[in-house]
Amino acid sequence: MMFDPFYNAAGMPLLSLLMLIPAAGALLMLMPMSARAVRVLALGTTLLTAIFSLPLCHLFNEAAAQMQFVERIPWVAAWNLEYSVGIDGISLPLVLLTVLISPICVLASWGSITSRVRGYYACLLLMESIMLGIFVSLNLILFFFFWEAMLIPMYLLIGMWGSDRGRAAAMKFLIFTLGGSIFMLVGIIALYLLGGRTFDMIALSDAGLPHAAQLWLFGAFFLGFAVKVPVVPFHGWQPDAYAEAPTAATIIMAAVLAKMGAYGFIRILFPFFPYAAWTFLEPLLILSVVTVLYGAYCALAQQDLKRLIAYSSLSHMGFILLGMATLTKTGIDGSIIQMVSHGVITGGLFLWIAAMEERLKTRMPADFGGLSTAAPVSAIVFTVLALAATGFPGMSAFIGEFLILSGLFQGHYVIGAFAIFGVVLGVAYMSWAYYRLILFKPATPYPRSFSDLGIREIVCFTPLVIVILLVGVQPGILLDFMRASVDQLVNILQAADAVRCAVGVVR
């Protein structure tokens, strides 16, 4: 029973249900109803999804490395294609992150979205469905299906409810992403033909592809994922899209969409093309560390808070990639923890900026100051988030960055040194922002209407802060889920390395 690949501990199609609930909610939005009813419905739907995700944690078998809660239904016979979903220790944390972030996104746009409310929440709910779909797909076509379908609601969210320059940002986002993923499509087709005419990820992950093919397939998939992360130099869309999008869309992009790219590295790129992963080890590390430094350096120069966090997010995504690219267990563990942690922290930071922007109609640090006395609760929340972002011990990012750096120092000392410099830059821009926002004297006194965080906002921040502290103090709760799956991935990678070294010796 344990090693049955069709084993589904839930005894029901739990993962499909998880995807269907938000989609059904989005469909209900087609009916005419009041704006308030729409908001309540959206919140209810996302909360229901979150509740349905609880059995996943409860029934998840931590000792098993293979996929769990698997469902398989024939889909397209002509292509030997199945609808197949399942999760393992790598995807579970990301599924949980998605269901946690979604209700917060609904709450974050409670007061700020007043036009075309139905369409807005329909897009938001569709996004949740699609994001879950990406993390649970066990089939390349299904994966790509969700990967591309995501563009439609996201494009509308940025363009319709974003700022005045949202249209251009939305187009940029879409063209960049499509440009990357279309190469992935060619890669998927080639993989299908080379790997014995199947799109099944489990079958393909031990297809043992020829080395030459691995190299260029790696390139094709890399383009798709690198744009989404994004990795410098594929990041052109990111600052604009983050800055111009409505808050909830920014949170989704920073907290979850970026993780989809990183997830692609762990789920597809490394296990499918282990030989290529070792071959491209150095370039990948260098690209990641450049992303870390470039993002942090640009963040130093930003005047707009949203852009500052956008660039800091770029820098942190570089860290995540850095950990994975070490191809060590420590590094990959660190990356996955950092994925969850960064999702929560960046989500929180964008949420905080939005809350302040709603009050002051500005995001320029110069217009803020002295929040410690003017809005103490808000100042405390920002303190926690800023400390977490800089990797303060006791917070989740510390665990992630520490593991990533330990993985890095298992051989890559120079790159490790540069990465540490990236952490230092992170402290620099964060403390600058902290000083300007919280401690500095405001240039103009705040208007009378200015108020501290309300109940709705505190409800949003609470789960985020809890996750930050919980993972920071007790990382085991995440690591236990991941252990078996990461071990399996590392085994695949090490086996490939052994073959590679043996071939090198013979030559």
Q: Which of 33, 37, 64, 185 forms a contact with other proteins (CB under 8 A)?
A: 185
Q: Is 166 in the site for other proteins (CB under 8 A)?
A: yes
Question: CA 446: distance to chain centroid?
Answer: 35
8 Å CB contact between 464 and 344: yes
Q: Is 212 in the site for other proteins (CB under 8 A)?
A: no
CA–CA gap between residue 96 and residue 239 (Å, rounded) = 26
Angle at 32 between CA 29 and CA 38, to 5 degrees: 50
Q: Nearer Cβ to other proteins, position 189 or 492?
A: 189
Q: Is 1 in the site for other proteins (CB under 8 A)?
A: no
Q: Which of 69, 192, 225, 311 forms a contact with other proteins (CB under 8 A)?
A: 192
What tokens were used for 8?
A: 């589904």
Q: Is 182 in the site for other proteins (CB under 8 A)?
A: yes
Shortest separation between residue 368's beta carbon and other proteins, angstroms = 31
Q: Nearer Cβ to other proteins, position 52 or 183?
A: 183
Stretch that binds other proteins, among 164-172, 333-341, 343-351, 463-471 (CB under 8 A): 164-172
Q: Is 152 in the site for other proteins (CB under 8 A)?
A: yes
Angle at 217 between CA 84 and CA 213, to 5 degrees: 115
- Closest by CA position to 352, among listed 298, 430, 443, 440: 430
Helix (H, G, I), strand (E, B) or coil at 198: coil
Q: What is the dihedral of CA 79, 206, 322, 500, to 10 degrees?
A: -130
8 Å CB contact between 215 and 276: yes
Q: Nearer Cβ to other proteins, position 235 or 329?
A: 235
Q: Which of 12, 54, 79, 373 forms a contact with other proteins (CB under 8 A)?
A: 79
Find the distance separating the first CA and the last CA of the chain, reported in whole Å.
Answer: 45
Q: Is 421 in the site for other proteins (CB under 8 A)?
A: no
Q: Nearer Cβ to other proteins, position 249 or 293?
A: 249
Chain residues 121-150 in contact with other proteins, contact rule CB under 8 A: 141, 144-145, 148-149
CA–CA gap between residue 262 and residue 325 (Å, rounded) = 11
Q: Nearer Cβ to other proteins, position 48 or 186?
A: 186
Q: Nearer Cβ to other proteins, position 9 or 149?
A: 149
Stretch that binds other proteins, among 12-20, 174-182, 203-211, 294-302 (CB under 8 A): 174-182
Site string for other proteins, 38-77 (x = CB under 8 A): -------------------------------------xxx
Q: Is 155 in the site for other proteins (CB under 8 A)?
A: yes
- The runs of H, that is alpha helices, within 362-475 are 371-374, 376-390, 396-408, 413-434, 455-473
CA–CA gap between residue 111 and residue 66 (Å, rounded) = 43
Task: Tell me the CB-side half-sphere exposure of residue 383, using CA atoms within 13 A.
Answer: 11
Q: Which of 12, 40, 54, 175 forms a contact with other proteins (CB under 8 A)?
A: 175
Shortest separation between residue 146's beta carbon and other proteins, angstroms = 8
Q: Is 195 in the site for other proteins (CB under 8 A)?
A: no
The crossing angle, in degrees rounded to 10, of helices 151-161 and 140-149 is 10
Which residues of the shown chain bind other proteins in the complex (CB under 8 A)?
A: 75-79, 116, 119, 141, 144-145, 148-149, 151-152, 155-156, 159-160, 166-167, 170-171, 174-175, 178-179, 182-183, 185-186, 189-190, 192-193
